[in-house]
Chain A
Amino acid sequence: MVSNARSNKGVGGRLLRKEDDRYLRGRGQFVADIKMSGMKEVAFLRSPLAHARINAITIPENLKHKAFCWSNMSGVKAICAMTSLAGFKKSEQSPLASDKVRHVGELVAMCVGDNRAQAEDFLEELVVDFDELPAIVDMVSAQQKGAVLVHEDWGDNVYLESKWDGDLSEAKANASITVTRQIRTNRQCMAPIEGKGVVAYWDNRMDQLVLYTSTQMPHIVRTGLAECLNLSQANVRIISPDVGGAFGYKGILTPEEICLGWLAMECGHPVRWIEDRREHLTANANCREHEYQVTAYADDIGRILGLEAVGAVNAGAYSAYPFSACLEGAQVASILPGPYIVPAYQCNINSISSNKPPILPYRGVARTSVCFAMELMIDAIARKVGREPYEVRLENLVPPTAMPYTNITGKAFDSGDYPESLRRAVESINLKGIRERQATNEKDGRRIGIGFCTFCEQGAHGTSVYHAWGVPMIPGQEQAVARLTPDGSLELRIGAHSHGQSMETTLAQVANEILGIDPADVRLVHGDTQYTPYSTGTWGSRCAVMSGGAVSTACKALAERAAKIAAHLMKLDLKEVQIIDGQAKGAASSISLAEIAEAWYYKPQILAADVDPGGLEVTVGYRPKIDTGTFSYASHAVVVAVDTELGHVEILDYVIVEDGGTMINPMVVDGQVFGGAAQGIGTALYEEMPFDSVGQPLASTLADYLLPGPTEIPAFRIEHMETPSPNTEFGVKGIGESGAIGPPAAIANAINDALAPIGVEVLETPVTPRRILAAIAEAQAGAQS
């Protein structure tokens, strides 16, 4: 009944983005664009200390109804992101600090003013009496016996120990070589162009708290917010309008959202808070602080016999809702083996609590740090056995003949040819040519290096994975609503949110694929709990698979309804009618979807007596056949020039060979990979959120927190492979985070390739000029001694 005839507007079509018209004309509507009569602005007093007891907060008499602290917020509950993982210790994060502050930037009080400047003036009148406590900043001191406790009732500073037990005795006995490295990704920030923002008011007509917030997961925010504010979920409506980049930072419930919701009810007028860049960097958007010691046991051609890792993730002061403080640490243990065959494996990772802001999930989540570690290990093995790093990768990658393949930690790789992606990258970057170039000296004295990495990315993982974690949010059937409007256009409603994923375009292409309707006639409704089905939202590279699958399923169900009405109107048997090109077609006649809609909405007298009373609107759920996730994969190859006198790194060429399964829109995939890779370059070379020994953040503006700009981003050369997933609609795989995973590994490997002849190896992100110069100085000192 449904045609799969391909059009250039369906799955696989290179369609320009529908959403670009409003964005490029500056007509997007972001939280900060929302104006309301009587709206006042909120500013937060944030802790100047990393760890301190609060003795008293003094609010002057003239600010009694303009300034608020935790003692004013009676009945409000703390954020508590639990997991069911054995041994997990919970943190309670009150939206404003109660007895203690645990990181610089933690919310202590808030003021409401006619404008932001006035609210900040009010903050200066508040007096907080702190007793400063020693701060836990680094992961080593956090774990020492007798360390100061971030959460006193815990007994230590460990949220969770994540272990993968294995027997390495055979690997150790048979190994020709052993390679050990201490590898670290430093804390950084996310830095979407739009920071966080909230507008809240109480709607008396609907008896609802309406909260506009820049979020990836409006339904999860509603659930969490209702719990914290003791409201029924029916009394809370979350609207996520246009969102200017999210990357995981907007995949959490924030204390500011709870505060604004409470203020809207308390004050009786709309309130808004727009995060500024200083708040964003120093207090909020922290991520990625991992360190592990990894040991690989391998034979004399570099085949891995066993892998052993011990390390920690600095998860900060609180467990963020809903993913928890061990999202990263627990994942490290399960994904460190990467795309490789690892016969024996043992891993022990602690998720550490410290006096830094909570670690939040950033595009790639644990995968970026894990890929960095594993890929640096592969290169270290290659140098030790004297082979090309790509050859050692090929020895160890899961071959296509083994697919589907379940690896040592139980990850079910669905499909693909991992070695082929690497071979293509080697060819495209011209490894042979670069090796020849390296044999001659560069005119400018720089050293040339080439680096590779290969990784796979689990995306769209569902119920079975998250049930095992027991976090507050477990994805199940992803729902979509498809509705034919009276004039025959299509309205789709999803509970996820599109903010750069281009779903207004790609889901219209999915609808086109099924119904043949022109994408211009498809409207996507998303970002409003009032109008969309419940969803865990947009995260984990899941929406092309989950929302795409749901929209496809919904359109098929809608096609059946339409075909049945059409068959009656055309006096044909249902079997004789097909929905193609936005029309119901019989052998000799056809009618349009608009005519079918007209019959349903305006001329019910001509419908069959047994017409489906559900009409031209369906709600369906979708889940892939196997819900443990799709595995997209990629190989990155990069050529760098390293200035050994200044430590500067220039990227000369960058190739990405990527397989995200069937592509709904290749240009959108390119955009996702391109943007992610730009962020990966930030992680590799520029972005770092440093702290001093007492927990003070040392970067507070974009002058000291460096983001790569246009001149730091090379013209990526992206090549696609297209191996369908056997488990999903159309064979689509999740690819949203992929670009951000590979660059730190590939770039560091290229730098190490350049500097290996002078005995230098860097093992830490970002690879700054100072780190390179320090490593060179150390190598020189070592050579002299």
Chain B
Amino acid sequence: MKPAAFEYVRPKNLAEALTLLAEGQGDSKVKAGGQSLGPMLNMRLSRVNQLVDISLIPELKTVSDDSDTIIIGACITHASIEDGKIPDVTNGMMNSVAAGIAYRAIRNQGTIGGSLAHADPSADWVISLTAAGAEAVISGPNGERRVGLNQFMDSAFETKLDFDDILTAVRIPKFSKQARWGYYKFCRKTGDFAEAMSAVVIDPSRDYCRVVIGATDTHPVVITDAIDLLTSDEAIDACITKNALDLNPLSGQMHRTALRRCIKQVQSL
């Protein structure tokens, strides 16, 4: 399959990209790494008049420090993070998660911002960075705003981004030395989409404990004050049931197991 014809533009800077999107009036689409959008265009499941390629805009490839937060540009690739080219503030969580995203060829092209904006509930960054308490930095016609990732997705592939918005960066709170994290996903094979996945971040010095359950049919399940979940398997099972993740009993079994194993990782440290 080949895509239906579209205009391809490569703006030099963010302002130019935002102008193009505004002019497109909803028929333009942002392309970052293109690892999800490309196949969807090829199969004609997605159609655009104009593709605005932001992947080479320098200001979207920067990393900056803002005291207790690190700001990672949207067009930083998974591979850069996997390879440790970005300062780690998550006690190794981001390197570890990056290394498990799909295949290396995809990690070479795919970007952290593109993955978040695509908003697949099985995506590694969606789940792990929501657990980390990260925020999306969004630029639009009215300037810049921030949205916590736990509020960012409305549903699978649906976000708070308007057609004329660009997710420019992600702000990740620095973990304290005492912070622990767990991440578990179950895929049938290496690189496959997850059947079940969970992430947990616990940072006692910040009084922070959050669990996120992914591979859902809609937006991920976020449990912001999750300390009770760490106490017993029964609490985990109740959480799965409460969030209707076991309507299909086999899926429920997988979600339950992934969550238990994820939490076990922080308990065993």
Task: List chain A positions with a Cβ less than 8 A from chain B.
Answer: 115-117, 120-121, 276, 278, 645-648, 686, 701, 703, 706, 708-709, 711-712, 768-770, 773-774, 777
Across the interface, do A709 and B250 meet the contact criterion of CB distance under 8 Å? no
* Residues of B contacting A647 in the complex (Cβ-Cβ under 8 angstroms): 254
> Is B238 in the interface zone, CB < 8 Å from A?
no
Task: Let me know if A706 and B192 touch, CB within 8 A.
Answer: yes
Query: Which of A117, A708, A774 is in CB contact (< 8 Å) with B4?
Result: A117
The answer to whether A777 and B250 have CB atoms under 8 Å apart is yes
B85 at the interface (CB under 8 A from A): no
Q: A121-B5, A777-B253 are in contact. List 10 more A-B contacts (CB 8 A).
A: A120-B4, A278-B43, A645-B257, A646-B253, A646-B257, A686-B188, A686-B189, A706-B192, A768-B188, A769-B254
**Most A-side CB within 10 Å, residue of B188, B190, B254:** B188
Instruction: For chain B, give the interface size range.
Output: 20 to 34
Contact A115 B2 (CB under 8 A): yes
B141 interfacial contact with A, CB 8 Å: no
Compute how far the CA of A278 lies from the CA of B192 in the bound complex, rounded to whole angstroms: 18
**How many Å from the CB of B143 to the closest CB on chain A?**
37
A678 to chain B, nearest CB (A): 13
Cβ contact of B186, chosen from A115, A648, A701, A711, cutoff 8 A: A648
Closest A residue to B1 by beta carbon equals A276
- A760 to nearest B CB, angstroms? 14
Cβ B188 vs Cβ A701 within 8 A: no
A120 touches which of B1, B188, B254 (Cβ 8 Å) = B1
Interface residue? B195 (CB, 8 A):
yes
**Among candidates B5, B43, B195, B254, residue contacting A117 with C-beta atoms closer than 8 Å:** B5
* Cβ contact of A121, chosen from B4, B190, B192, B258, cutoff 8 A: B4
Candidates B3, B192, B196, B250; contact of A774 at CB < 8 Å: B250
Question: Which residues of chain B are within 8 angstroms of A712 by Cβ–Cβ distance?
Answer: 189-190
Q: A117-B3, A117-B4 are in contact. Are A645 and B253 (CB under 8 A)?
A: yes
Interface of B is mostly: loop
Instruction: Compute how far the CA of A58 lies from the CA of B187 in the bound complex, rounded to whole angstroms.
Output: 45
In the complex with contacts A117-B3, A768-B188, A777-B193 CB distance below 8 A: no
- Minimum C-beta distance from A165 to chain B (A): 43
**B39 CB–A CB distance under 8 Å:** yes
Q: Enumerate chain A residues within 8 angstroms of B253, measured Cβ to Cβ.
A: 645-646, 773, 777
Which residue of chain B lies nearest to A773 when distances are taken between CB atoms in the complex? B250
Contact B254 A646 (CB under 8 A): yes
On B, residues with C-beta under 8 Å from A are 1-5, 39, 43-44, 186, 188-193, 195-196, 249-250, 253-254, 257-258
Instruction: Chain B residues near A769: list those with CB within 8 A.
Output: 186, 188, 195, 254
Given contacts A646-B257, A701-B39, contact A278 B186 (CB under 8 A): no
Find the A residue at minimum CB distance from B256. A645
Q: In the complex, what residues of A have CB within 8 A of residue B3's CB?
A: 117
The smallest C-beta distance from A442 to any residue of chain B, in angstroms, reads 15
Contact (Cβ within 8 A) B1 A278: yes
Closest to A279 in B: B1
Q: How far is the CA of A120 from the CA of B3 in the complex (A)?
A: 9
Interfacial chain B residues near A120, Cβ < 8 Å: 1-2, 4, 44
Residues of A within 8 A of B196 (CB): 646
Contact A777 B249 (CB under 8 A): yes
- A701 / chain B contacts, CB cutoff of 8 Å: 39, 43
- Most chain B beta carbons < 10 A, residue from A276, A770, A774: A770
- Knowing A121-B4, A276-B1, the reply to whether A646 touches B189 (Cβ < 8 A) is no
Question: Nearest CB to that of B251 among chain A residues?
Answer: A770
How far is B192's CA from A769's CA once the two chains are assembled, in angstroms? Answer: 14
Taking a contact as CB atoms closer than 8 A, the residue among A117, A703, A709, A770 that contacts B193 in the complex is A703
Contacts of B43 in A (CB 8 A): 278, 701
CB-based nearest B residue for A278: B1
CA distance A770 to B186 in the complex (A): 12
B267–chain A nearest beta-carbon distance, Å: 16
**Assembly CA distance A647 to B249 (angstroms):** 13
Closest B residue by C-beta to A770:
B250
- The minimal Cβ–Cβ distance linking B257 to chain A, given in whole angstroms, is 4
Name 20 interchain pairs, CB-CB below 8 A, sorted by A: A117-B4, A120-B4, A276-B1, A278-B43, A646-B186, A646-B196, A646-B254, A646-B258, A648-B186, A648-B188, A686-B188, A686-B189, A701-B39, A709-B189, A709-B190, A711-B189, A769-B186, A769-B188, A773-B253, A777-B250
Residues in B neighbouring A706, C-beta threshold 8 A: 188-189, 192
Bound-state CA distance A770–B5 (Å) is 41
Residues in B with CB closer than 8 Å to A768 are 188
Q: How far is the CA of A709 from the CA of B257 in the complex (A)?
A: 25
Residues of A within 8 A of B2 (CB): 115-117, 120
* Across-interface contacts of B257 in A (CB, < 8 A): 645-646
A766 to B: closest C-beta gap in Å? 10
The 5 closest A-B pairs by CB, nearest first: A117-B2, A711-B190, A645-B257, A116-B2, A773-B250
Residues on B with beta carbons closer than 8 Å to the beta carbon of A117: 2-5
